[in-house]
Structure 1
Amino acid sequence: WGIILLKTLHGLSEHLTWPQLYSSVEAEVKLFQTLAILEARESMGVPMLLLAWSVTEVVRYSYYALGLFNAVPYFLTWIRYTFFIVLYPLGVTGELLTLIGSLPEASFVEEKKYYSLEMPNALNMSISFYWVLIGAALFYIP
């Protein structure tokens, strides 16, 4: 989680290009998925997203490391861009199932006001964690 936070802060500290912005948003999604509600770990989406994330990262960083030495083999380039076709939908499906699976627990969290912000406060606004989760799920709609 610390690396994800550092990656996010690094992304916010400089002018971002679109690929960097996507990578930065991807880091926040991973942080959100793994920290928001720990009870969601029982969802069937967790193994799906862990498999997709793990394979993606191993391939990505192997590609980057070998690229430093200009020694990227063709099969690694092929794997990087071909596995995406399967891993991206698998990861998104896993993330959505985990998010939806966390909603019952989120309603309990909402009752206890753990992650919510209520008025009055210095920001003069209120935020409901339950509705943040629903809004996050809606962002997956293409």
Structure 2
Amino acid sequence: MPPKPQAQTRPKPAASTLNTTYLLAYNFFSALLWLSVLGRVAVIGSAQGATSGKVYEGTERFARLTQSLAGLEVLHSLLGVVRAPLLTTLMQVASRFLLVWGIAYHFPQTTRYSPAYSSMLVAWSVTEVIRYSYFVFALSGFGVPRLWTWLRYNTFLVLYPVGVASETWLIYKAIPQAEKLDQKFGWVLYGALASYVPGFYMLFTHMLSQRRKIMRSKNV
């Protein structure tokens, strides 16, 4: 599922300069990587079209490796480096890994020409650029600009449904190919699709609640 801007809280105060420096570097580097993903999708998509297969060819490996870096966030949560809940972080990373490794990488024949692949990457990358840069501002000590707070707690209203719709479509289209390998793989993907129904409701309503709190407290 696409990242939920409100589900993760601001990183807790760093215990050391080294900890702060590491988190600043991680978030800054991650923001740059996702900005690069967004740029590639925008440039290739506008020139070649979202269904030409060129977006997939030009972004799949880079996007997969960029998303794989987010696996560190499970470790961050486990070790208490940030206050993000371990379970929700693990679920978020696992769902992303399913898309980049289980679907896009293993079933290019159903992903390459689908516009859902481009829309998924746009939803992910815009959200991640905002999220990671928000943490950079917060950790830097200079404060988060009001615009960035507004973006972080409002863009999910559009990006989250777009991302979920794109992800579920890509999973659905991959099922016939997965069943050719083993019927069990098809059932696994059906199970993944089923999990999006309660997952979307719980996460989206939680984000709406968090948005109300932030908008009221920050008067954004």
TM-score by length of 1: 0.76
1:48, distance to aligned residue in structure 2 (A) = 1.5
CA deviation map 1:31-62 (0-9, x unaligned): 11011133242333211210111001000011
Figure out how many residues of one structure are paired with residues of the other and give that number.
125
Runs of 5+ unmatched residues, structure 1: 112-127
2:111 maps to which residue? 41
2:147 maps to which residue? 75
1:17, distance to aligned residue in structure 2 (A) = 7.0
Match of 2:92 among 9, 23, 26: 26
Superposed CA RMSD in Å reads: 2.3
Q: Contact 1:59–1:76 (CA<8 Å) still a contact in 2?
A: yes
1:20, distance to aligned residue in structure 2 (A) = 4.0
Secondary structure at 2:143 match in 1: coil
Q: Relative to 1, partners in 2 of residues 1:17 and 1:64: Cα closer, same or farther, differing over 3 Å?
A: closer
Partners in 1 of 2:181 and 2:124 — Cα distance?
27
1:141 maps to which residue? 197
Partners in 1 of 2:164 and 2:94 — Cα distance?
14
Q: Contact 2:117–2:166 (CA<8 Å) still a contact in 1?
A: yes
Partners in 2 of 1:76 and 1:6 — Cα distance?
24
Alignment of 1:78-97 (within 5 A): 78-97=150-169
1:66 maps to which residue? 137
Partners in 2 of 1:94 and 1:45 — Cα distance?
5
Q: Which has the higher contact order (CA 8 A, sep 6+)?
A: 2
Runs of 5+ unmatched residues, structure 2: 1-64, 199-220
Q: Relative to 1, partners in 2 of residues 1:79 and 1:96: Cα closer, same or farther, differing over 3 Å?
A: same
Partners in 2 of 1:92 and 1:63 — Cα distance?
23
Partners in 2 of 1:94 and 1:33 — Cα distance?
10
- Output the amino acid matched with 2:98: F
1:96, distance to aligned residue in structure 2 (A) = 0.3
Identical residues among aligned pairs (%): 34
Q: Relative to 1, partners in 2 of residues 1:133 and 1:17: Cα closer, same or farther, differing over 3 Å?
A: farther
Q: Relative to 1, partners in 2 of residues 1:13 and 1:77: Cα closer, same or farther, differing over 3 Å?
A: closer
CA deviation map 1:90-116 (0-9, x unaligned): 1100110110111121122226xxxxx
